[in-house]
Structure 1
Amino acid sequence: MNYPGFCKRYNQPCYNNLQVFVQRKMFAYILQYVYASFLRYWLKWLIRQVTGTCELQRICCGSKQGATRTTKAEYSLRFSKNKVLRNALTATTENLPQCVDQIMREKSIKPQKDPLFKDNLHNCLSQITGYNQLYVGVEELRKEVFSSDNPDHESMLLKLWDLLIPSVKLESRITKQWGDIGFQGDDPKTDFRGMGLLGLINLVFFSENYTEKARQVLSHANHPKLGYSYAIVGINLTEMAYSLLKSGDLKPHFYNAVLTSPERQHFHQLYCYLAYEFDKFWLSEEPESIMLFNEYREKFHKKVQLHLKDPTVCLTLKQEN
């Protein structure tokens, strides 16, 4: 007996899905390699002969400011055969002007003939290198362990409580009251292990800069049916923001949201957007149980990633007065 999708002769699947997937990925990789290594170079050379401008000139003066321009410039620099151009991606804030001047000399670009190029390229490089430096700074915070012996850490933790529930005083530093804002145990320090000080800073930033929204989200988190652990979910969303930053998925957002070099506060603002939007998403989905959190968290994650594929994306939460 033969079945649909099976070879009549051998009664076996006509193809292996995994094998086909791997073959297609390999074929796509080979095409990309051939284009980046050979075809792209000659195509650039031909267009330069016709237009009299290099690829970077056409990008910096012909593309819309933001992710559209900066993403193209980053790609052009990364796959350039010129070492000076490739090295510009690892420049520091201090030597960006020198990098721009070096690139202009290498590509024989005259300021009087292309007056916008220098400033536009500088802005692109500022965003590109700033993103890299932002990741380094965020990683340092993630690795910093919350310490009860550090008065700054302790002060920040107590500040979180006062911002969220100012009308109630903590009975003591270690108390079951921490459960009221979504920590698992009597001492919140144990909940920061995964994201370190970064998780706490994000929670405090949201509560301090978007106080009414943070309290609103906390009230939703304490809902008898649709509730969730506010602080624990917040730390989990910090991990989501961190992973998106590390993978480079957040580049379009930052290239659109920050005209120069993104800084740590911009990362914290991105977290605020995720915290607020996840709460809306959770309530709209009406999960049957908190035990389904990972499933809905992943669904929300994919939704954010889809937004980030839009070159005009800007995931911002309106600042409160």
Structure 2
Amino acid sequence: MLGCIWQYFYSSFLRFWLKWFLRHITGKCELQRICAGYKQGALRTSQIGKNCNKIIILTLLRFEEDVVDCVAQIMRHKNISEQKDPMFKVNLQQCLLQISGYNTLFAAVEDLRKEVFDSENEDHEKICGDLLMPSEKLESRITKQWGNIGFQGDDPKTDFRGMGMLGLVNLNNCGCAFQCRYSYAIVGINLTEMAYSLLRSGALKTHFYNTVAGKPEMQNFHQLYCYLAYEFNKFWVDEEPESIMEFNTYREKFHDKVKVYLQEPEVALILKLDAKN
């Protein structure tokens, strides 16, 4: 109860006067103090996201050129001189690019996830046939050969239902991370779902803010997926489960482990391969 009263008092009265006091003492607004006081990355961008007017972010940050206009509007509204604080414009623009870019990336990932695998689509079939099984010629479109790389049935299209083309494109980009350990197709699609859920929840903001200076792109998401694929493979081997039937249990353990990593403000989930790999 006392905590709620304090939170209300702070948010309603104390915070306003504290900001007013600091503005007059330092000659800088809160956004300037954040840009100057936090180093580039998730610490700075997260604070900017918390303190920027949400209406401005939602209405203006749709395309890169709007970020430039948004920063100009903020500087006019806050009466910030570019001559007196030349780095503010650069730093704020980078933060807003990251914030808007994350939202744009999620929209692109969502569109790919919703794209249904179509066996009548030659491009889809090429990715699935030629690139997932480059060294083996398919006997027919529907064949038990698909089970050799971990699909559940004779037709892979049924396994892509939850993640759509996103699951297939991720497998195409990083299938090799599984191949020396176990049949990887269904495991890979499950890891796509993990990466997607982390992106949707906002948990990946720290990673992308720390590793991408501007707007994260689809390729950055695929790289994050490859990290998950490679690290899960190591995790699986280290844990030594009795059989693939325990996959769901170990998947959740790994998911929880990644979520703990992502709570670190300077986290960067970068794939680092051993020389032998």
TM over 0.5, yes or no? yes
Which of 257, 262, 266 pairs up with 1:303? 257
Residue pair 1:89, 1:129 contacting (<8 A) in 2 also? no
Q: Which has the larger radius of gyration?
A: 1
- For 1:1-321, list aligned pairs within 5 A: 32=7, 34-78=9-53, 84=56, 87=58, 90-163=61-134, 166=135, 168-207=136-175, 214=176, 217-221=178-182, 229-318=183-272
Percent identical residues: 62
Deviation at residue 219 of structure 1 after TM alignment: 1.9
- C-alpha separation between the residues in 1 aligned to 2:233 and 2:84? 52
Residues 291/103 of structure 1: CA separation in 2 closer, same or farther (3 Å cut): same
Aligned length: 275
Residues 45/158 of structure 1: CA separation in 2 closer, same or farther (3 Å cut): same
Deviation at residue 94 of structure 1 after TM alignment: 2.4
| Range 192-201 or range 91-100, more displaced | 91-100
- C-alpha separation between the residues in 2 aligned to 1:235 and 1:27? 47
Deviation at residue 290 of structure 1 after TM alignment: 2.0
Equivalent residue of 1:162, what SS? coil
TM-score of the two chains, using structure 2 as the length reference: 0.92
Deviation string for 1:245-285 (max 9, x for gaps)? 00000000000110100011100110000000001001100
**Alpha carbon RMSD of aligned pairs, Å?**
2.2
- By relative contact order (CA 8 Å, sep 6+), the higher-ranking structure is 2
Deviation at residue 102 of structure 1 after TM alignment: 0.2
Residue pair 2:34, 2:44 contacting (<8 A) in 1 also? yes
Residues 126/87 of structure 1: CA separation in 2 closer, same or farther (3 Å cut): same
Deviation at residue 318 of structure 1 after TM alignment: 4.1
Deviation string for 1:121-168 (max 9, x for gaps)? 0000000000000000000011111001111111110133334xx2x3
- C-alpha separation between the residues in 2 aligned to 1:91 and 1:265? 20
What amino acid maps onto 1:155 in structure 2? Answer: K
Residues 242/35 of structure 1: CA separation in 2 closer, same or farther (3 Å cut): farther
- C-alpha separation between the residues in 1 aligned to 2:271 and 2:103? 23
Deviation at residue 31 of structure 1 after TM alignment: 5.2
- C-alpha separation between the residues in 2 aligned to 1:160 and 1:69? 41
- C-alpha separation between the residues in 2 aligned to 1:113 and 1:183? 61
| Range 283-292 or range 35-44, more displaced | 35-44
Deviation at residue 309 of structure 1 after TM alignment: 0.7
Deviation at residue 40 of structure 1 after TM alignment: 2.4
Tell me, which stretches of 5 or more residues in structure 1 are unaligned? 1-25, 208-213, 222-228
Residue pair 2:60, 2:66 contacting (<8 A) in 1 also? no
What amino acid maps onto 2:149 in structure 1? Answer: I
- C-alpha separation between the residues in 2 aligned to 1:244 and 1:184? 25
Residues 197/34 of structure 1: CA separation in 2 closer, same or farther (3 Å cut): farther
Residues 123/144 of structure 1: CA separation in 2 closer, same or farther (3 Å cut): same
Deviation at residue 41 of structure 1 after TM alignment: 2.3
Deviation string for 1:93-134 (max 9, x for gaps)? 221111000000011100000010001100000000000000
TM-score of the two chains, using structure 1 as the length reference: 0.80
Deviation at residue 295 of structure 1 after TM alignment: 1.2
Tell me, which stretches of 5 or more residues in structure 2 are unaligned? none
Residues 27/315 of structure 1: CA separation in 2 closer, same or farther (3 Å cut): farther
